[in-house]
Structure 1
Amino acid sequence: MKKEKKIKKKHHNNLSTGFINITHHGYAFVHINEYDKDIFIPKNKTNRALEGDLVKIRFSYKNRRKIEGEVLKIIKRKTKQFIGILKFNVQYNDKYGIVYNNNLHVDILIPIKKLKKCYNNNKVLVEIISWPKKLKNPLGKIVKTFGISGEYKTEICSLLEEYGISYQFSKKVKNEAHEIFSKSILDLSFRKDMRHINTFTIDPLDAKDFDDALSIRKLNYNTWEIGIHISDVSHYIREGSLLDQEAYSRATSVYLVGEVIPMLPEILSNNLCSLQPEKDKLSFSYVFNIDKKGKILKNWFGKTIIRSNRKFTYDEVQYIIDQKKGDYYEDIYALFLFSKILIQGRLKNGSIYLEKMEVKFHLDDKNNPTSLYLKKNNDAHRLIEEFMLLTNRKVSEFVSLNFNGSPSNKLYIYRIHDKPDLQKIFFLKKIIEPLGYSLDLKNLKTSINNLIKKIKGKPEQNMIENLILRAMSKAKYSTKNIGHYGLSFIYYSHFTSPIRRYSDIIAHRLLYYYLTNNNKNEKYKLKTTEFYEKQSQYCNDKERLATDIEREFIKYTQVKYIRKFIGKEFDGVITGFTDWSVYIDLLIFQTEGMVKLRDIKEDSYILNLNNYSIIGKKKKKIYHLGDKIKVKLINVNIEKKQIILDWINNI
């Protein structure tokens, strides 16, 4: 009550500003900082506002608990441009075409006379030009047409447009890349020549940009020298150049199903910087001596020149490990044994060992999905992963610590990972307990690792792994080191993928600066902490954006693939509830579908207050998260990326 009185006193006219959130039904909510609950805006009082707009509102108290308001003015539109599907509809007497957008509560009208080159079901970028008071809908104009909705190229181009990512590089950027390529000279004066040592890359079958290579040689009966060689991208990309600005702008490559939107032009990412076999290549390397017990005896960091003997795929290396024979068998098997020692050490130190299966697709010549499969890491994947983790950790330690182990206080860019959200951990605990699992909150990491082992191969595995991931904090970049919780590393950075991550280019530049003893003749000059922190935060934002795009495009591909199974029955696991629907994980597809509560015929179900279950009004039967269900696929919506299911019964 005291808080409400303060608000009334401060807003004597009950006026405020905030961002509006409009539901598909047309009513809305506005959040104002001074009040805990959002202000409810009725459908007829949104005053032509659109989702996300900054608005001025007037509100009044209907009673002690309920506040209702109206939009007086739109201070600033969130955006005037939207991507949607163009439809020609007789509802508007052939005067207008309409553009439908998932996130808008109204359609945008386009005068028919301005739609001569557009077709029904085209995906378009539309701009709102006006919203006359006499019309229920805003008027717009078509800015760009992407093609027929649902088609592969259409969905890629419209998705990239929506997230503000360029599909192609500008002519100026391409010209600069070609100039670097044509002028590239292998300067060996300051590089360690490692071309005589057995070196190879291990990557997916379809990989074109080879960031990393491994070298190994046996020095004596007890000692090996291992080199992790990372493409020396920072040698070619001069800070402040047009190419550098473009790479920073993108900050990361985006990996879509069947397509890569690279951070660097392909002449660099797939050619000059890529550590291709049987070619002399410039690299930035971590070279160390290790004994047969896995103890690292000596470290070296510096610029090198290498020559990869062979390009391996993960499957080829896995075959060599399994069969104990093949090209470079002794070298590969030695690396495999060392990787196992590294994994054991990491787990002993408290690292969380979560390996999520990835959904992959086979595509036909028109990029339509023909089959879906789940990719799981094998020993070959883990071999590479462990040496990359080791490199990222050792580079970070080298910069951050003096020779005596004391902090150096040198500026660097870290990959940090905070402790998990306790509320989400409690939520996870409550969900898994009815399924027969437990969590020891006092020994959380070990307990999570034990949980991961126990759910392996169980129907609820995917759901619980997703809950574990959601409970974890998001790893990010920062100059302020707090360590990496998930890996149990005190110092950790990203260094091993400079072709596809700008953060790694920053790490390379800083490491080279420290290695050259702050040589005044070097081109690279150290900036302020604020400069690198700003770059770190920008890389975080772009990484989240890329992750969202990748997930959205995977969902589109899943939905497109699954539609061929309409009418078929599947086993599923309940993964979520809302007031009106149940979400089901379709086990063989590893994706969620939805059943509307009102469509469950066996009873009338309502959501329990804790949101973890539903209960039937008549039979009082309860369904929990993790329960196994039989469902039928009845429809898909590619635009909304929705899978609609029919509830058959529990398994």
Structure 2
Amino acid sequence: MAKKKSSHLELVLIQLISDVLEKNKNEALNYKQISAKLNIVDPSARETILEVLKEQAKKGIFAEPEKGKFKLKDLKTFINGKVDMTADGAAFIIPDDEFEKDVFVSARKLHNALHGDRVKVYIYAKKSGRKNEGEVVEIIQRAKTDFIGVIRISDRFAFVNIDDRKMLHDIFVPLTDLNGAKNGQKVQVAITDWPEGVKNPIGKVINILGEQGENNTEMNAILAQYGFPLAFPPAVENEANAIPEQVSEADLKDRKDFRDTVTFTIDPADAKDFDDAISFKKLENGNYEIGVHIADVSYYVTPNSELDKEAYSRATSVYLVDRVIPMLPERLSNGVCSLRPHEDKLCFAAVFELDQQANIIQEWFGRTVIHSNRRFSYEEAQEVIETKQGDHVEEITKLNELAYILRDRKFKNGAISFESTEVKFKLDDFGKPIGVYVKERKDAHKLIEDFMLLANKKVAEFIAKKGKGKQKYTFIYRSHDSPNLENLGNFALFAARFGYKINMKTDKDIAKSLNYLMEDVEGKKEQNVLTQLAIRSMAKAVYTTKKTSHYGLAFDHYTHFTSPIRRYPDVMVHRLLAAYLNHEKSADAEQYEIAASHSSAMEKRAADAERASIKYKQAEYLEENVGNTFPGIISGVTEWGMYVELIDNKCEGMIRLRDITDDFYVLDEKNYCIVGQRKQKKYQLGDEVLVKVKKVDLAKRQIDFSLIQ
């Protein structure tokens, strides 16, 4: 056994011995006892255990409190963590314990670990001034075993070139496992084996997605890459199809009837799944009864049904550039549950009596039946607001006035207004982008948002105040932590370069100055960069059973109640609210916390898939513009290049540092810039530059720019 450098086998032995000593930490064991606990009986193998014990005791990994007996020293020789792969094939292991430092692992010491895998890592003794370095000794859990790529078939074998930039190995596919795939097609391939020491994993084709470059193929490839199914299982469709479309008398039991109250929906022009409707009634005392009626999905999707299991698994609808992949089958999402006009529909509602100043006089939560009078698109509702003419003008005008009051109050209480630009594409009949535009948010959008926020907030408060301490009721909250002050401080320094000041004395001061910034920056070229950076400096919102506040909205309690057609947490909220209104006991917190955590993870995955579809369409749009020049804003800097967002169409690509030849540039992470080492020229986040479209790689959804000036 090599003495100078540990072999992989030795590292595995060290790990096994460490596990034994960890379990028996109160006593010192000799090599025979350790061998017995490892079920090793071969004498030469036992001798090897003794050699490893002595060698590692000299290095300080194990202690030898008495001759021939060993204990584990109280230091972290092994850590568990997640693989974060770099572009050159090495990786950093992000430890599970947030107080541990990242561990660098070279490519040859990853031992077949892939990006996102949870692994056990042996940490080498640290040399002075060097970062933590280690070696993977065990793959605890694969992040994924299915990958998307283009298959290349020769006479004797085939390889799949993987689209994912973080997957640096092609997958070898025996000709017997092609499953009908043809050369050049985009496929989904599953790793079936990867022997130690072999460069490429072995796999089999499990899904043929179609011809590379076709819109349908590429969108399905994105869904498959992020683990979203392309169809519903037959059992789920059958269950959905068995649900009657018509509302029966039996369905109306224990429901408040709002069918004679003016009710309407306001949604995007192309929407088909209408989760929410608003009812409006002027009361004799001069106040207003406003009902926020939400599709009663939980009435139809019952616990442990096939529909429920599938909805839980997906946890969310996925919105790609050209399509929606619904959480529920179309029969429910666009039919039974959708609050279509001129049809009786079952809802779960939050109904408020508001005075002229939008103060809540009374509130009521429960099941309702509605009959929507009108389906508005946002544009139609906006026209009513602006012209003061059209259907339900009195109701929409008053709702808009009340929404303004609710919004102002929210911001005065410390809510933050992040108005980031949302890119939309004009597509031809084949799904090819022929134009790019930025979606505008007007009063009609904000009106709906403000009443949905009110319902979400008040439902959360209602449950949060029902029980305290051990008597508290299990519920699904939407939690948003206050920002990390170091991250926010870095952002404040950067914003100051543009003349914006962030007051960091209190949470309210932070919110107020961020809102001033967002207002000031609107329409300016640096808007998107500053908004994205501000959002990045914030904590991420998550689902949880813990009663915590929502920093961004400045609400003590907040939940998601208003979109059960497209979000599973809302379905859980409806079920819990119904149970507690019915005086049932509190639900199992542990079970719901697992569901909340799963929903948060799937929400992130859906957002990543949406971004990937936008990246693909941006690349497809700029493919026709290779060689053309555009003004852009530096939107990101990394150690290998800088990202530039084009001002006209918001498409984002990269200028690689190696392609900037007038100097040797390195990243200055703290100051969000890259700096030339000889001439000290800086390219700063937010700087305007002129770029040429150099290359577009549709398969990898990559756009490369070259710097003109």
TM-score, normalised relative to structure 2: 0.82
Give the deviation of 1:297 after TM superposition: 1.9
Q: Which of 215, 228, 231 is equivalent to 2:292?
A: 228
Q: Which of 451, 455, 459 is equivalent to 1:387?
A: 451
Looking at structure 2, the residues matched to 642 and 105 of structure 1 have their Cα atoms a distance apart, in angstroms, of 16
Distance 1:609 1:365, change over 3 A: closer
Query: Residue in 1 aligned with 2:399?
Result: 335
Query: Residue in 2 aligned with 1:535?
Result: 595
Query: Residue in 1 aligned with 2:339?
Result: 275
8 Å Cα contact 2:550/2:557 also seen in 1: yes
8 Å Cα contact 2:255/2:366 also seen in 1: yes
Distance 1:68 1:168, change over 3 A: closer
Q: Which of 260, 265, 272 is equivalent to 1:208?
A: 272
Deviation per CA, 1:414-471, whole angstroms, max 9, x where unpaired?
1111101212101211211222222111121111111111211111110010011111
Q: Which of 143, 157, 163 is equivalent to 1:96?
A: 157
Looking at structure 1, the residues matched to 316 and 262 of structure 2 have their Cα atoms a distance apart, in angstroms, of 31
Q: Percent identity?
A: 43
Q: Which of 412, 436, 439 is equivalent to 2:502?
A: 439
Looking at structure 1, the residues matched to 484 and 120 of structure 2 have their Cα atoms a distance apart, in angstroms, of 35
Give the deviation of 1:579 after TM superposition: 2.6
Is 1:83 aligned with 2:148? yes
Query: Residue in 2 aligned with 1:108?
Result: 171
Give the deviation of 1:35 after TM superposition: 7.3
Looking at structure 2, the residues matched to 71 and 348 of structure 1 have their Cα atoms a distance apart, in angstroms, of 52
Q: Which of 518, 535, 543 is equivalent to 1:477?
A: 543
Q: Which of 696, 700, 707 is equivalent to 1:636?
A: 696
Query: Residue in 2 aligned with 1:38?
Result: 103
Give the deviation of 1:411 after TM superposition: 3.0
Q: Secondary structure at the match of 2:643?
A: strand
Is 1:146 aligned with 2:209? yes
Is 1:493 aligned with 2:559? yes
Give the deviation of 1:111 after TM superposition: 4.3
Is 1:455 aligned with 2:527? no
Distance 1:234 1:105, change over 3 A: closer
8 Å Cα contact 2:352/2:362 also seen in 1: yes
AA of the residue aligned to 2:559:
S
Q: Which of 564, 571, 575 is equivalent to 2:635?
A: 575
Looking at structure 1, the residues matched to 240 and 119 of structure 2 have their Cα atoms a distance apart, in angstroms, of 45
Looking at structure 1, the residues matched to 346 and 107 of structure 2 have their Cα atoms a distance apart, in angstroms, of 63
Query: Residue in 2 aligned with 1:507?
Result: 573
Is 1:252 aligned with 2:316? yes
Segments of structure 1 that go 5 or more residues without pairing to the other structure are 519-524
Looking at structure 2, the residues matched to 545 and 592 of structure 1 have their Cα atoms a distance apart, in angstroms, of 21
AA of the residue aligned to 1:267:
R
Looking at structure 1, the residues matched to 543 and 125 of structure 2 have their Cα atoms a distance apart, in angstroms, of 45
Q: Secondary structure at the match of 1:118?
A: coil
Give the deviation of 1:59 after TM superposition: 7.0
Query: Residue in 2 aligned with 1:217?
Result: 281
Segments of structure 2 that go 5 or more residues without pairing to the other structure are 1-57, 64-71
Looking at structure 2, the residues matched to 306 and 135 of structure 1 have their Cα atoms a distance apart, in angstroms, of 64
1:14-25 matched pairs, under 5 angstroms? 16=78, 23-25=86-88
Looking at structure 1, the residues matched to 644 and 533 of structure 2 have their Cα atoms a distance apart, in angstroms, of 14
Q: Which of 605, 608, 612 is equivalent to 2:672?
A: 612
Distance 1:333 1:615, change over 3 A: same
AA of the residue aligned to 1:420:
P
8 Å Cα contact 1:275/1:308 also seen in 2: yes
Q: Secondary structure at the match of 1:435?
A: coil
8 Å Cα contact 1:356/1:376 also seen in 2: no
Give the deviation of 1:575 after TM superposition: 2.2
Query: Residue in 2 aligned with 1:297?
Result: 361
Distance 1:116 1:634, change over 3 A: same
Distance 1:107 1:362, change over 3 A: same
8 Å Cα contact 1:15/1:56 also seen in 2: no
Distance 1:294 1:423, change over 3 A: same
Looking at structure 2, the residues matched to 110 and 245 of structure 1 have their Cα atoms a distance apart, in angstroms, of 33
Give the deviation of 1:584 after TM superposition: 1.1
Is 1:177 aligned with 2:240? yes
Distance 1:142 1:245, change over 3 A: closer
AA of the residue aligned to 2:147:
F
Q: Which of 371, 374, 382 is equivalent to 2:435?
A: 371
Give the deviation of 1:319 after TM superposition: 0.7
8 Å Cα contact 1:17/1:54 also seen in 2: no
8 Å Cα contact 1:420/1:473 also seen in 2: yes
8 Å Cα contact 2:466/2:472 also seen in 1: no
Q: Which of 466, 472, 487 is equivalent to 1:409?
A: 472
Give the deviation of 1:637 after TM superposition: 1.3
Give the deviation of 1:112 after TM superposition: 5.3
- After alignment, is 619-628 or 195-204 more displaced? 619-628
Looking at structure 2, the residues matched to 282 and 123 of structure 1 have their Cα atoms a distance apart, in angstroms, of 43
Looking at structure 1, the residues matched to 124 and 476 of structure 2 have their Cα atoms a distance apart, in angstroms, of 50
AA of the residue aligned to 1:478:
T
8 Å Cα contact 1:581/1:597 also seen in 2: yes
Deviation per CA, 1:268-307, whole angstroms, max 9, x where unpaired?
1111111110111111122222222222222222221111
Looking at structure 1, the residues matched to 116 and 166 of structure 2 have their Cα atoms a distance apart, in angstroms, of 10
Q: Secondary structure at the match of 1:126?
A: strand
Distance 1:109 1:339, change over 3 A: same
8 Å Cα contact 1:30/1:41 also seen in 2: no
Q: Secondary structure at the match of 2:244?
A: helix
Q: Secondary structure at the match of 1:263?
A: coil
Query: Residue in 2 aligned with 1:308?
Result: 372
Distance 1:320 1:221, change over 3 A: farther
Distance 1:599 1:336, change over 3 A: same
Looking at structure 1, the residues matched to 542 and 139 of structure 2 have their Cα atoms a distance apart, in angstroms, of 35
AA of the residue aligned to 1:105:
L
Query: Residue in 2 aligned with 1:548?
Result: 608
8 Å Cα contact 1:31/1:39 also seen in 2: no
AA of the residue aligned to 2:570:
D
AA of the residue aligned to 2:268:
P
Looking at structure 2, the residues matched to 132 and 526 of structure 1 have their Cα atoms a distance apart, in angstroms, of 50
- After alignment, is 173-182 or 59-68 more displaced? 59-68
Looking at structure 2, the residues matched to 27 and 499 of structure 1 have their Cα atoms a distance apart, in angstroms, of 42
Deviation per CA, 1:338-379, whole angstroms, max 9, x where unpaired?
111111111111111112221111222222222211112100
8 Å Cα contact 1:110/1:139 also seen in 2: yes
- After alignment, is 18-27 or 311-320 more displaced? 18-27
8 Å Cα contact 2:103/2:123 also seen in 1: no
Query: Residue in 2 aligned with 1:418?
Result: 481
Distance 1:325 1:7, change over 3 A: farther
Deviation per CA, 1:590-626, whole angstroms, max 9, x where unpaired?
2421111232244443333635222334433222221
AA of the residue aligned to 2:543:
Y
Looking at structure 2, the residues matched to 503 and 99 of structure 1 have their Cα atoms a distance apart, in angstroms, of 37
Q: Secondary structure at the match of 1:441?
A: coil
Looking at structure 1, the residues matched to 276 and 223 of structure 2 have their Cα atoms a distance apart, in angstroms, of 28
Looking at structure 2, the residues matched to 513 and 317 of structure 1 have their Cα atoms a distance apart, in angstroms, of 36
Q: Secondary structure at the match of 1:332?
A: helix
8 Å Cα contact 2:171/2:203 also seen in 1: yes
Q: How many residues were matched structurally? A: 634
Looking at structure 1, the residues matched to 303 and 120 of structure 2 have their Cα atoms a distance apart, in angstroms, of 44
AA of the residue aligned to 2:452:
M
Deviation per CA, 1:163-206, whole angstroms, max 9, x where unpaired?
32222111111111121226852433322211111111100011
Q: Which of 226, 231, 239 is equivalent to 1:168?
A: 231
8 Å Cα contact 2:464/2:547 also seen in 1: no
